[in-house]
């Protein structure tokens, strides 16, 4: 049968009676295929006893009803007392006298959002109890129970106690009011501003379900390159309607605040943060927002960066700007998340040093409801960066880590790149700020410096595409962000395992090989795009495809790699820009020394001769070529692997991934061939033996512009 007929056939029937389009994400609740397991699960959960009346409890009950119906083909009977074995009891000591009587000591450890799932005999009957101190905890526990069944784990005689390690776990949507999304590759914005607040798309509820299932509890719904209009009454009412949908799921709304809003929508002549009228304006604005959204989370601000307005326009500091907004929000318990992504568009000082230089000096100067939000690395979400030097350097300041879930620099929604290893690399990086073990995870959790608040943000990859994220595997990055925000200690492998089972199948002959590839996929992408610490050498207009030759005004690609006849890489050692001095001595000593630096960061910190002997025994040029070629061949191996998995999952998603892998392979080869030919003009050495030369000339690769790509 040819592929198109197969696709049509699959759309009609699919493997389970209908085509899988990815809309259900990891909340698919397909029947457990192992009959033995099904019988055991059915004996543990026969009926449900729910204590509590809130919308959150109703959401938990609904999810359990849908989930159990799908997984165990059983409609859960709702009861008001425990009269048989197999009762699933849900509630808090406040909503349930039965739970209160159990005096569950574990609840003292789980805080406001944690939960306990425990097998307990009550009145002589064996029950499964989901207990928490709050209804939100009960909701999180309900999702966890469902995930145990989805991933085929035992629910007999269990005792699971869990709570989040970070308080604010927030998605940052870069969505514009006209429906477009900056760096969004999965269609248009979910927020239908035109029809809000009257029409509440059911998708908003599914968005909230998906987020709650992984513990995300906040969402900034608009772009950091902000429009002041989102703070006008019309838009606040619309945002309030979204907040109402999200509230039962424990998700707070935040807004980005354009610093010049007092001028643009307030009719003032200035936005100077020390001007009394401006201060009053923001206070009134905060009061107004809270009148519509009583649990509003606060503001996210991009100030004095890439042309955005900010306090420096009035010769005021980041601290003066952030604190003024923080004062306006404080009476309502709101927070300011003030971004540390700042750099001069005009070339001057090493860009990697600028955020530290601007912010470090204000450590201790920020109000208690301010977070400073640096990206994971000092430049800009590159495939690999060293960790941001502000982590560890601002011990008196609450730092909110910002990851990018959308793949701006990692293949958009075309490349299969699982980001959990990147997240993990940052979270487990040791800053040595308070001696060995001062990891970024501990700093972000607020544990290292004992901060009152903690938070983490991820730039969302969600759009209007039917499967939410464009590439079916991009869902795993949304999922992984949520899981790691809840618990930064989780391993990328455990998360991938859960995600694959919940999203595709429990069949280990599918899960094992795909997981192996996912775990390595980010390294493969680094290799075929920017190996050995290279960065920012993509096409500077689109941020897609290779562009080490690109020139624009201000920063050119060449400034980031500095290739010349001698060698390649940026000298950031104490003999160069001295960016290494922004790190603590143990880290600095490692980064500063060419013999100690890991090869993955070599060219970030060192300008290295082409003939430099690497630990692999290859010279630098050979190593660069080796990495570019191995990145591409890894994608080719994955294509073979994927082809062998054809009948293990539904045909529609199988075919989607197959096609996308083919695109990824073509584009990986485009990256490799363009970059190798370009760097060869400096290295002036032939390709080492055994490598197939690029098919086209460097000029050809330089001319390729999206969407005319290499296959033309």
Active site residues: 306, 380, 408
What the block records as the tokens of 65 is: 């009803």
Q: Please identify, using beta-carbon distances, which residue of 341 and 517 lies nearer to ligand GCV.
A: 341
Minimum distance from CB of 341 to ligand GCV (Å)? 5
Determine the Cα angle at 147 with ends 143 and 148, to 5°: 120
Q: Which is nearer to ligand GCV, 96 or 414 (CB)?
A: 414
User: Could you write out the DSSP letters of every residue in 227-291?
Assistant: -GGGGSHHHHHHHHHHHHHHGGGT-EEEEE--TTHHHHTT--S---TT-HHHHHHHHHHHHHHHH
Q: Tell me the two tokens of residue 121.
A: 């005999």
Judged by beta carbon, residue 91 or residue 548, the one nearer ligand GCV is: 548
CB of 397 to ligand GCV, least distance (A): 20
Cross-strand pairs, 47? 77, 87
- Give residue for tokens 């009152």: 452
At 675 the three-state DSSP class reads helix
Beta partners for 337?
300, 371
DSSP for 540-599 reads TTTS-SB-TT---SSS-HHHHH---SSEES---STTTT-GGGGS-HHHHHHHH-TTTS-G
Shortest distance in whole angstroms from residue 66 CB to ligand GCV: 36
Q: Establish if 275 lies at the interface with ligand GCV (CB under 6 A).
A: no
Q: Burial level of 427, CB count in 10 A (0-12/13-18/19+)? A: buried
Residue 341 as a binder of ligand GCV (CB under 6 A): the answer is yes
Q: For residues 350 and 363, is the Cβ–Cβ distance under 8 A?
A: no
Q: Is 359 in the site for ligand GCV (CB under 6 A)?
A: no
Phi/psi of residue 373, nearest 5 degrees: -115, 90
Among 49, 115, 174, 356, binds ligand GCV (CB under 6 A): 174
Q: Return the residues of window 378-407 that contact ligand GCV according to CB under 6 A.
A: 380
The neighbouring-strand residues paired with 371 are 337, 398
In the DSSP assignment, the letter for residue 489 is: T
Residue 556 touching ligand GCV (CB under 6 A) = no
Which tokens go with 495?
């998360």
Token readout for 453 is: 């608040």
Q: What is the dihedral of CA 662, 667, 670, 675, to 10 degrees?
A: -140
Taking CA 521 as the corner, what is the angle to CA 517 and CA 524, rounded to the nearest 5 degrees? 120
Q: What is the DSSP string of 138-162?
A: HHHHHHHHHHHHHTT---SS-EEEE
Q: Which residues contact 584 (CB under 8 A, 6 or more apart)?
A: 392, 431, 432, 433
CB of 402 to ligand GCV, least distance (A): 8
Distance CA 23, CA 290 (A): 33
CA torsion sign for 224, 229, 235, 236 is positive
The residues in 285-304 that bind ligand GCV, with binding defined as CB under 6 A, are 302
| Beta carbon nearer to ligand GCV, 71 or 226 | 226
Q: Is the bond preceding 707 in cis, omega lying within 30 degrees of 0?
A: yes
Tell me how far, at minimum, the Cβ of 543 lies from ligand GCV, in Å: 6
- Which residues, 6+ apart, have CB-to-CB distance to 160 below 8 Å? 116, 117, 118, 144
Alpha carbons 543 and 436: distance in angstroms, whole number: 37
| Residue linked to tokens 């800009």 | 380
Q: Please state at what angle helix 202-213 crosses helix 55-72, rounded to 10 degrees.
A: 80
Asked if residues 475 and 502 have their Cβ atoms less than 8 Å apart, the reply is no
Q: How far is the CB of 174 from ligand GCV (least distance, A)?
A: 5
Name the CA dihedral angle for 412, 413, 417, 421, rounded to a multiple of 10 degrees: 70
Nearest distance in Å: CB 453, ligand GCV: 22
**How many residues sit close enough to ligand GCV to count as binding (CB under 6 A)?**
10
Interface pick for ligand GCV out of 46, 183, 434, 696 (rule CB under 6 A): 183
Return the number of the residue (380 or 655) whose C-beta is nearest ligand GCV. 380
- CB of 50 or CB of 538, closer to ligand GCV: 538
Name the minimum Å distance from CB 182 to ligand GCV: 5
Q: Under 8 Å CB-to-CB from 503, ≥6 apart: which residues? A: 25, 26, 28, 472, 475, 476
Q: Is 578 in the site for ligand GCV (CB under 6 A)?
A: no
382/619 with CB nearer ligand GCV: 382
Q: Which is nearer to ligand GCV, 170 or 241 (CB)?
A: 170
Candidate residues 64, 224, 324, 660; the one interacting with ligand GCV per rule CB under 6 A:
224
Q: H or E element: which one contains 87?
A: strand 87-91
| Token pair recorded at residue 437 | 């073990």
| Binding flag, residue 225, ligand GCV (CB under 6 A) | yes
Minimum CB distance to ligand GCV smaller for 408 or for 425 = 408
The two tokens of residue 178 are 């006209």
Q: Cβ 224 to ligand GCV, closest distance in Å?
A: 5
Q: Say how far residue 560 (Cα) sits from the centre of its chain.
A: 25
Instruction: CB nearer to ligand GCV: give 249 or 481.
Output: 481
Instruction: Let me know how long the chain is.
Output: 712
* Contact map string, positions 126 to 165, toward ligand GCV, x by CB under 6 A: ----------------------------------------
Least gap, CB of 223 to ligand GCV (angstroms) = 6
For residue 360, what are its two tokens? 């470090």
Distance of CA 607 to the CA centre of its chain: 32
Phi and psi at residue 456, to the nearest 5°? -145, 145
Query: Given the rule CB under 6 A, which residues bind ligand GCV?
Result: 174, 182-183, 224-225, 302, 306, 341, 380, 408
């Amino acid at each position: 049968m040819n592929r198109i007929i197969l696709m049509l056939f699959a759309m009609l029937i699919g493997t389970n009676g209908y085509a899988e389009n990815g809309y259900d994400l990891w909340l698919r609740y397909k029947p457990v295929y192992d009959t033995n397991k099904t019988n055991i699960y059915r004996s543990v959960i026969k009926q449900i006893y729910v204590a509590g009346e809130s919308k959150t409890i109703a959401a938990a009950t609904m999810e359990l009803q849908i989930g159990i119906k799908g997984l165990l083909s059983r409609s859960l009977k709702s009861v008001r007392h425990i009269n048989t074995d197999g009762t699933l009891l849900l509630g808090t000591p406040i909503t349930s006298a039965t739970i209160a009587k159990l005096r569950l000591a574990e609840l003292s450890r789980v805080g406001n959002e944690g939960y306990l799932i425990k097998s307990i005999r009550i009145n002589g009957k064996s029950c499964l109890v989901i207990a928490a101190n709050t209804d939100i905890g009960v909701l999180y526990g309900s999702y966890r129970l469902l995930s145990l069944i989805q991933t085929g784990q035992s629910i007999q005689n269990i005792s699971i106690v869990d709570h989040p390690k970070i308080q604010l776990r927030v998605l940052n949507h870069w969505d514009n009011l006209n429906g477009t999304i900056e760096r969004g590759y999965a269609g248009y914005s979910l927020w239908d501003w035109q029809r809000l607040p009257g029409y509440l798309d059911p998708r908003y509820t599914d968005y909230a379900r998906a987020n709650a299932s992984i513990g995300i509890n906040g969402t900034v719904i608009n772009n950091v390159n902000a429009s002041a209009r989102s703070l006008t009454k019309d838009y606040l009412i619309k945002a309030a309607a979204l907040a109402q949908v999200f509230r039962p799921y424990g998700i707070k709304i935040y807004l980005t605040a354009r610093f010049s809003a007092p001028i643009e929508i307030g009719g003032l002549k200035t936005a100077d943060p020390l001007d009394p009228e401006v201060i009053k304006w923001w206070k009134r604005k905060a009061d107004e927002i809270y009148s519509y959204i009583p649990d509003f989370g606060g503001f996210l601000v991009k100030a004095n960066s890439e042309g955005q307005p900010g306090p420096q326009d009035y010769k005021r500091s980041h601290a003066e700007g952030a604190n003024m907004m923080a004062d306006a929000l404080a009476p309502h318990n709101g927070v300011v998340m003030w971004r540390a992504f700042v750099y001069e568009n005009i070339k001057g000082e090493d860009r990697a040093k600028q955020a530290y230089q601007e912010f470090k000096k204000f450590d201790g100067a920020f109000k208690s409801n301010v977070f400073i939000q640096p990206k994971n690395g000092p430049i800009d979400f590159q495939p690999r960066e060293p960790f941001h030097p502000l982590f560890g350097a601002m011990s008196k300041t609450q730092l909110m880590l910002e990851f990018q879930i959308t793949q701006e620099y990692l293949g958009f929604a075309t490349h299969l790149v699982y980001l959990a290893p990147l997240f993990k690399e940052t979270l487990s990086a040791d800053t040595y700020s308070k001696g060995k073990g001062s990891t970024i995870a501990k700093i972000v959790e607020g544990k290292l410096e004992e901060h009152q608040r903690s938070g983490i943000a991820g730039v969302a990859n969600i759009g209007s595409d039917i499967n939410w994220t464009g590439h079916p595997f991009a869902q795993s990055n949304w999922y992984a962000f949520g899981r790691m925000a809840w618990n930064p200690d989780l391993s990328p492998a455990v998360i991938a395992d859960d995600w694959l089972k919940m999203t595709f199948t429990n069949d280990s002959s599918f899960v094992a090989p795909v997981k192996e590839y996912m775990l390595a996929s980010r390294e493969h992408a680094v290799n075929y795009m920017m190996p050995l610490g290279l960065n920012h050498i993509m096409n500077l207009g689109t941020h897609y495809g290779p562009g080490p030759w690109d020139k624009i005004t201000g920063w050119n690609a060449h400034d980031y790699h500095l290739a010349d006849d001698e060698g390649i890489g940026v000298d950031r050692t104490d003999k160069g820009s001295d960016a290494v001095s922004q790190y603590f001595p143990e880290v600095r000593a490692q980064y500063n020394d060419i013999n100690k630096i890991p090869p993955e960061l070599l060219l970030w910190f060192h300008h290295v001769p082409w003939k430099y002997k690497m630990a692999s025994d290859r010279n630098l040029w050979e190593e660069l070529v080796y990495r570019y070629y191995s990145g591409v061949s890894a994608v080719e191996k994955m294509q073979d692997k994927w082809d062998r998995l054809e009948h293990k999952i539904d045909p529609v998603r199988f075919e989607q991934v197959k096609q996308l892998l083919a695109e990824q392979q073509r584009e990986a080869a485009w990256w490799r061939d363009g970059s190798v030919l370009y760097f060869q003009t400096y290295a002036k050495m032939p390709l080492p033996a055994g490598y197939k030369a690029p098919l086209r000339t460097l000029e050809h690769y330089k001319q390729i512009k999206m969407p005319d790509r290499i296959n033309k």
